Amino acid sequence: MNTDFEAFKEHLSWLIHPSQIDAVSETEIRLSSKFTDTFPILTELITQARVLSLDIDHQPHHLFSWTNKNNEIFGWLTKTESDFTSPLPFIEEHKLLLNEIGGIRESFNQPDPSFSNNQEFMFTGSECSAGINDWNDYYEEQCSDENKRPMDYKNFISFVVEANGAATVYDPKTKEVFLFSHDHAFDNVDFLENQPEYTFHTFHTITSFVDYVEALAQEWKNEII
């Protein structure tokens, strides 16, 4: 019995029925030099992980597991989509992440606080969308009400969506990252200058997509014993 797999099933029993899971085996993730150069903190985190390969509904996944300071197993379930193509203008760093470890479908026993908390998905190519996750009308109304010029957001990539609908997006032209949220229950963001409040936010210590990924990895890395 694999203790990582059992911990995963226990914590995410609401998400996946055991009958959906097949072909569980231990594996190793080989990261390219381009990946390790782009994401050094994430590389350290991944190299410390215990990794299982598993199929869920005939779709390849990886379970990355670590042991935290409370001697609890915590981890990511990532979905790999080798045959996936998209018309969205993903930046190279995003594609690199997806190609080598996949997008995060779910996490368990995550640090608190962490970017991974309460998210519907993170990075997964087939879940990403253009724009701001159906907040178009709300945003346009806020801009009109406050006489603010809307950002050119329609080609932004929504790559993380929170359970309350908040979206983390990046501009594929500049690789800048923003949070779009209708509330402000966040300690690490500020309202974007010259934009209506409770729309676009900037992160305190994060500018780019790579910054965001590395900050997430650091949050998890800090918890490993």
Query: What is the tens place of the pLDDT at every residue in 163-182?
Result: 999 999 999 999 999 999 99
1 pLDDT band, cuts 50/70/90, is low
Whether residue 184 has pLDDT greater than 70? no
Question: Phi/psi of residue 155, each to 5°?
Answer: -100, 5
Whole-angstrom CA distances from 67 to 2, 72, 78, 158, 178 are 14, 5, 18, 31, 31
The separation between the first and the last C-alpha atoms of the chain, rounded to the nearest angstrom, is: 23
Position with higher pLDDT, 159 vs 112? 159
Question: How many angstroms separate the CA atoms of 113 and 69, rounded?
Answer: 15
82 pLDDT band, cuts 50/70/90, is confident
What pLDDT is attached to residue 197? 94
Alpha helices in 64-169 (DSSP H): 92-100, 136-146
11 pLDDT band, cuts 50/70/90, is confident
> Full-prediction pTM beyond 0.85?
yes
> ∠95-127-92 over CA atoms, to 5°?
15
From the number of C-beta atoms within 10 Å of its C-beta (0-12, 13-18, 19+), residue 65 rates as buried
Q: Which of 4-18, 35-49, 74-88, 114-128 has the lowest mean pLDDT?
A: 4-18
